[in-house]
């Protein structure tokens, strides 16, 4: 198989559309999330110029449809579904804000368990 393969030449947006399943929640579910951290990763670039690399699918989707992620910011899944790559469900936030939101969600989940 010669490099770059036809798959490499295919526009990234098409590759995203071809792989996702749109859920009732509006989430764009990427197949096969990592069993370790729940995030999805995808190979991009080409072997021939050495640009081939594994990237986080939600970051790739955001950059493809929304534009660059501001320097130093992380993408928060506002839907809390790490396998989701819908750019509308991704919000660039600081690391500090991402941690604050994660902790707040944990507290409310815990409160839900206690009251259940
Ligand atoms: Zn989502």
Report the separation in Å between the CA atom of 65 and the middle of ligand 1, taken as the mean of its atom positions.
15
Report the separation in Å between the CA atom of 83 and the middle of ligand 1, taken as the mean of its atom positions.
8
Q: Looking at the chain, which runs of residues are DSSP E strands?
A: 21-22, 28-29, 41-44, 53-56, 74-77, 90-93
Contact in structure between 98 and 74 (CB atoms under 8 Å)? yes
Spell out the domains of the chain, with CATH numbers in brackets.
6-115 (3.90.75.20)
For 62-97, the pLDDT digits (tens) are 998 898 899 999 999 999 999 999 999 999 999 999
The predicted pLDDT at position 104 comes to: 93
Picking from 20, 1, 7, the residue whose alpha carbon sits closest to that of residue 52 is 7
Higher pLDDT, 115 or 31: 31
Report the separation in Å between the CA atom of 25 and the middle of ligand 1, taken as the mean of its atom positions.
7
The predicted pLDDT at position 4 comes to: 38
Report the separation in Å between the CA atom of 7 and the middle of ligand 1, taken as the mean of its atom positions.
26
Interatomic CA distance for residues 83 and 34, integer angstroms: 9
Interatomic CA distance for residues 106 and 80, integer angstroms: 11
For 3-60, the pLDDT digits (tens) are 334 445 457 888 888 999 999 999 999 998 999 999 999 888 888 888 888 999 999 9
């Amino acid at each position: 198989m010669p490099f770059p393969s036809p798959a490499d030449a295919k526009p990234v947006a098409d590759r995203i559309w071809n792989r996702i399943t749109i859920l009732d929640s509006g989430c764009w579910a990427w197949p096969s999330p990592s069993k370790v951290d729940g995030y999805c990763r995808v190979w991009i670039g080409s072997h021939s110029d050495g640009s081939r690399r594994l990237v986080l699918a939600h970051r790739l989707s955001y950059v493809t449809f929304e534009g660059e992620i501001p320097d130093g910011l992380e993408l928060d899944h506002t839907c809390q579904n790490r396998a989701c790559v819908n750019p509308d469900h991704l919000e660039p936030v600081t690391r500090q804000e991402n941690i604050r939101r994660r902790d707040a969600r944990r507290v409310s989940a815990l409160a839900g368990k206690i009251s259940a």
